[in-house]
Amino acid sequence: MNVIQQLQRRTPLGWLQLSREKSRLLVALSGIAFADVLMFMQLGFQNALYDSNTRLSRSLQTDIVLVSPQARNTQNLSTFSRRRLYQAMDIPGVKSAQPLYASTITWKNPETRKEATIQIIGFNPEQPAFNLPEVNQQLNKIKLPDTVLLDRGSRGDYKAAIAQVKQGETVTTEVEKRTITVAGLFNLGASFGADGNLITSDQNFLFLFPRREAGSVNLGLIYLEPGYDPNQVAAALKSHLPDDVKVMTRQEYVQFEESYWKRESPIGFIFGLGTAMAFVVGVVIVYQVLSTDVNAHMKEYATFKAMGYFNRYLLGVVFEEAIILAFLGFIPGLILPLGLYQLAAKATALPIFMTVSRAVMVLILTVIMCGISGTIATRKLQSADPADMF
């Protein structure tokens, strides 16, 4: 028995069986890599969905946010009465309350003159609304009538217009039958909800939307005096303000935005379902390979049993094959998405890139995927009787 135990420890039977059938090994690795690429792409797009659609809210330079209860996300904020901002000033610790306006608008591309939909944001330039140095350095520009800042990360053909603005040339276009001037640039990026962004003053915003209900705002930005806790002031605001406005800290507002895309948006569900389907595809592919291998070597396994090898050793061989396949298949499955991410980011202007945490997650999923396949493939092996094999 000691000799058998030594052989069990020394013989890499799983690797020998896999490497003997080169074509079968390549097919298995290709299948695992394919499943990994699918998972990487689905998770990459899912992360880009959450990241791109919360960048604006994460960039807000405020302590507390007031929003309409009907608001769903930044592109569907609804409105509430500006009177609530004045009422918020009654709460101790509130330094100021400023309105922020946001809407989508159709404008003509300054370069191609084709119409495109873009998100426009307006706020009081005397009180910076975003933690974006490029924007805050150009607040004097948006004080001028019919002047905007263009997001250089917008999705579309804006290369020539961006180059002209960088050179200090005047770039004009048309929005709602008004001629506006692009006076500067900033970088925020496109999202699933908007192809790009324009930033202007609150007065310019209202000029572009003359039919807008008077005294209505999309967001209320509450700035606190130093030393006050946002959570405590937010609790006081909730008690003080009517139910036609929702009070959130800045972090809660970011979570509110992300929660919409995770739970209510069909896009988030689709990417999650795509990842699950890729996982199932991988399980099926690896199972087919391991099951074929077990059937092809059933007599050899029966011989091992007759020689005194325990079931756990034979099961260990199959699991060894599964783990080897998982790690070898993961390597091309990791390399291919690196190029695909760059291609997708360039084509969509979305923040799609590889992260260490995602790579570790897919590796763990790959090991689990192959482990499940190995578990299913060993069921027939456990019931194998050496007497039935000969």
Beta pairing partners, 106? 117
Q: How confident is the model at residue 224 (pLDDT cuts 50, 70, 90)?
A: very high
362/329 Cα distance (integer angstroms): 11
Give the CB-side neighbour count of residue 310, counting CA atoms within 13 A: 7
Helices (H), the chain: 2-10, 13-20, 22-58, 83-88, 133-136, 139-142, 159-166, 202-208, 230-240, 250-259, 266-296, 298-307, 311-348, 356-377, 379-382, 386-389
Q: Do 225 and 371 lie in a common domain?
A: no
Same domain, 217 and 84: yes
Phi, psi of 244 (to 5 degrees): -85, 10
CB neighbourhood size of 384 (10 A): 17
Paired sense of beta strands 80-81 and 219-224, if any: unpaired
Residues 130 and 76 in one domain: yes
Q: How many CA atoms lie within 13 A of 165 on its CB side?
A: 24
Is the same domain home to 219 and 270?
Answer: no
Mind giving me the DSSP string for 100-149? EEEEEEEEE-TTT--EEEEEEEEE-TTS--B--HHHHTTHHHHTSTTEEE
pLDDT at residue 3, as a whole number: 43
Residue 387: CB atoms within 10 Å: 8
CB 234 within 8 A of CB 67: no
214, 244, 274 - which closes a domain: 244
Strands 94-108 and 219-224: antiparallel
Model pLDDT, residue 1: 46
Does residue 64 lie in a domain region? no
Concatenating the DSSP letter of every residue in 165-188 gives: HHTT--EEEEETTEEEEEEEEE--
Asked whether residue 15 falls in the same domain as residue 81, the answer is: no
Are 230 and 327 within one domain?
A: no
Q: How far is CA 42 from CA 28, 286, 366, in A?
A: 21, 20, 15
Which of 73, 66, 67 has its CA nearest to residue 49? 73
Say if 284 falls within a structural domain: yes
Question: Is there a domain that residue 309 lies in?
Answer: yes
* pLDDT at residue 253, rounded to an integer: 92
pLDDT of residue 40: 93
259: in domain: no
Q: Residue 157 carries which DSSP code?
A: S
User: Burial code of 278-314, b = ≥16 C-beta within 10 A, e = fewer?
Assistant: bbebbbebbbebbbebbeebeeebbebbeeebeeebb
Please give the Cα distance from 167 to 163 (Å, whole number): 6
Looking at the structure of the chain, the number of domains it has is 2
Phi and psi angles of residue 248, each rounded to the nearest 5 degrees, phi first: -140, 145
Q: Are residues 303 and 211 in the same domain?
A: no
Mean pLDDT (the chain, rounded): 84
Q: How many whole angstroms separate alpha carbon 223 and alpha carbon 281?
A: 51
Angle ∠(80,86,91) on CA atoms, nearest 5:
115
- The whole-angstrom distance between residue 205's C-alpha and the CA centroid of its chain comes to 30
Predicted model pTM: 0.78
Contact (CB, 8 A) for 25 and 32: no
Residues 222 and 304 in one domain: no
Say yes or no: 201 and 337 in one domain.
Answer: no
Q: What is the dihedral of CA 87, 92, 95, 101, to 10 degrees?
A: -30
The per-residue pLDDT for 95 is 93
What tokens appear for 264 in the block? Answer: 């209510």
Classify residue 58: in a domain, yes or no: no
Q: What is the pLDDT of residue 142?
A: 93
Q: What is the span of the domain harbouring residue 101?
A: 69-244
Last residue of a domain, one of 193, 210, 244: 244
Residues 185 and 225 both lie in one domain: yes
pLDDT digits (tens, 9 = 90+) for 75-112: 788 889 999 999 999 999 999 999 999 988 888 888 77
Given a cut of 60, whether residue 11 has pLDDT beyond it is no
As a whole number of angstroms, the distance between CA 145 and CA 320 comes to: 70
In a domain, 258, yes or no: no
Closest CA to 75 of 56, 62, 61: 56
pLDDT digits (tens, 9 = 90+) for 317-333: 777 888 888 899 999 99
Is residue 93 located within the same domain as residue 233? Answer: yes
* Within a domain: 249: no
Highest mean pLDDT among 103-107, 140-144, 161-165: 140-144
The token pair at 12 is 């890499």
- 317 falls within a domain: yes
Same domain, 175 and 28: no
